[in-house]
Structure 1
């Protein structure tokens, strides 16, 4: 029987703690990016924008959504790393707002509308350890008093230590999780089409995701390199990195506002909206908006349950995991969560005649955790989909909501009905009364 050296066990424990932190960071920044993107105006009638500026804003939103999708991918990679070393997936994170001391990101975590300040915070999240481009360094020195990139590279340093530990620990003491428990992008998408990939099939892309199988030191460190290169860059000027993309948006935003002082790309969305009191957050008081926000919170909770089950599946078949995947990413994420987040930024936060708008809270439900028993877990998901459908139609029928958003709320409700039927057909059990 192989007995690991005590120092390897201590290093394993440290690695697991760092990966949990990394999962929290990826989930945290992901929500902030999605929130900011949802606050951008979408039509000329909202005021403060020209038609040309709307096209520029469309490109900004597309970039933010693309970065957010990669953050989802990074969360998946970190989850597979945890699984590979025999640890449990981790999807919990601090509530918004959270001070900089809570997570290793050197910045406060808060849900804030699109602005120069918000985008600059995102630039700092994705800051590399060094800035090889002197123009970038000069620009940031002009934007940030006493700027020092080493003061904003906490995420980079987090992954650097993860990689160092992956390389230091003996593989037999490290990669003890079953490979079949990982969610790898090669096989679920294929299984969803009724086929099984051949042995050694290369990872493909699910909805733009690339989740490689992690089985040894090489594949683990390559996965970490993928996260770092897509986020902070590869140690040189990388135009496609998250850092470079956000910095480009900030430059364009500053230039556009300088040429047009009346330019206002974002709706008047409050910071950190919630339906219940929390220190530092903004409590929504409009009754109709609260009902829409609660529908979003329930949809987000169900999506998290799907993701937890997908990444921590037990005795599910490949086809069953493919069902979880297809419901979590599309249509739930794309046709329910995203439209509701955008609708909320059009709804009054307080009185119907007041200018402040609401927004998605991304409130993390306290009771969400892995349900260990497959049959009960799937039954529970079915009940949640049934509740979502009922609440979706109740919100769609609510005449207290502004008339412009009602057709889209109706579409969300109809989509929730289709999702519930799809899930019932997949599990072969009717869960409606």
Structure 2
């Protein structure tokens, strides 16, 4: 992943040479999500190559680690989990760290079911349908945080981002509950799991006209 982001950096540099900064960074930086909307390290509008480079540095350091070898990176966290897992296995060879959640769960019977686990237990199916709807709504909220061209964009972004974060927690609770439920009414050793299926609409929650009307009413 670190190599991927370095490739993105290299290509951004090449594109700026070819297109110029104004040709590469389009749109109004004010429509991006900034620290006023979500207070996280590295969140800042990107309007030039230097800002883009800083964002890539943060992504790599927090995710994959880097020459700085941050102890709080995702990569270092995964290594710690691996060491703890190996130690637990050493103490108890039968230790199982997770529920037997299906690797390839599906909510609707596919035309080619080989290798898929069809979730047909009534409780699990209903919860999975809810989880997928939650996932779709979460993505719609996130998408609409960006590229807004209506007045008072920051206020709308704050509301949408707060909703997305709350939905992340709801999705986490639903996914955990799914992993604890049997996948089928006929026990086969598999528990259910999240499919991250997008089945709902992706249209804006509010049209531009509706958003302008709401802002005027306030």
**Superposition TM-score, scaled by structure 2 size:** 0.83
Matched, 1:351 2:185: yes
- Tell which deviates more after alignment, 349-358 or 320-329: 349-358
Aligned twin of 1:171: 21
Say yes or no: does 1:320 pair with 2:169: no
Structure with a larger share of its residues in helix:
1
Q: Could you tell me how far 1:183 is from its partner in structure 2?
A: 1.0
- Structure 2, gaps ≥5 residues long: none
Partners of 1:366 and 1:273 in 2: CA distance: 18
Displacement of 1:227? 0.9
| Kept in 2: contact 1:167–1:217 (CA 8 A) | yes
Could you tell me how far apart the structure 2 residues matched to 1:212 and 1:377 are? 24
The alignment status of 1:276 with 2:108, answered yes or no, reads yes
- 1:159 aligned residue: 5
What's the offset of the Cα at 1:300? 1.0
Task: Trace 1:203-222 onto structure 2 (pairs within 5 A).
Answer: 204-205=39-40, 210-222=42-54
Aligned mates of 1:300, 1:268 — CA distance in 2: 22
Larger relative contact order (Cα-Cα within 8 Å, sequence gap ≥ 6): 2
**Which residue of structure 1 aligns with residue 61 of structure 2?**
229
Matched, 1:295 2:130: yes
C-alpha distance in structure 1 between counterparts of 2:116 and 2:210, whole Å: 35
SS in 2 for 1:229: helix
The change in CA–CA distance for 1:371 and 1:327 in structure 2 (over 3 A counts) is closer
Question: CA-to-partner distance for each residue in 1:317-356, whole Å, 9 max, x for gaps?
Answer: 22222111221112x222x212111111121101265542
Distance in 1, Cα, partners of 2:87 & 2:216:
54
Q: Give the aligned partner of residue 286 of structure 1.
A: 121
- 1:6-25 equivalences in 2 (<5 Å): none
Which residue in 1 is equivalent to 2:30? 180
CA distance in 1, matches of 2:173, 2:216: 27
1:263-288: CA deviation from partner (whole Å, max 9, x where unpaired):
11211111121202345432112123
1:167, 1:221 within 8 Å by CA — same for their partners in 2?
no
Gap regions ≥5 residues in structure 1: 1-154, 190-203, 379-424, 429-433
Alignment of 1:387-402 (within 5 A): none
CA distance in 1, matches of 2:162, 2:128: 24
Looking at structure 2, the residues matched to 182 and 309 of structure 1 have their Cα atoms a distance apart, in angstroms, of: 11
Provide the rounded CA distance (Å) in 1 between the counterparts of 2:27 and 2:8: 17
Aligned residue in 1 for 2:85:
253
**Does the aligned pair in 1 maintain the 2:151–2:215 contact within 8 Å?**
no
Matches within 5 A, 1:22-421: 155-168=1-14, 169=16, 170-184=20-34, 186-188=35-37, 204-205=39-40, 210-235=42-67, 237-278=69-110, 280-317=115-152, 318-330=154-166, 332-334=167-169, 336-351=170-185, 353-365=187-199, 367-368=201-202, 373-375=207-209
For 1:182 and 1:294, how far apart are their aligned partners in 2? Answer: 32
SS at match of 1:238: coil
CA 1:281 to 1:375, structure 2 compared with 1: closer, same or farther past 3 Å? Answer: farther
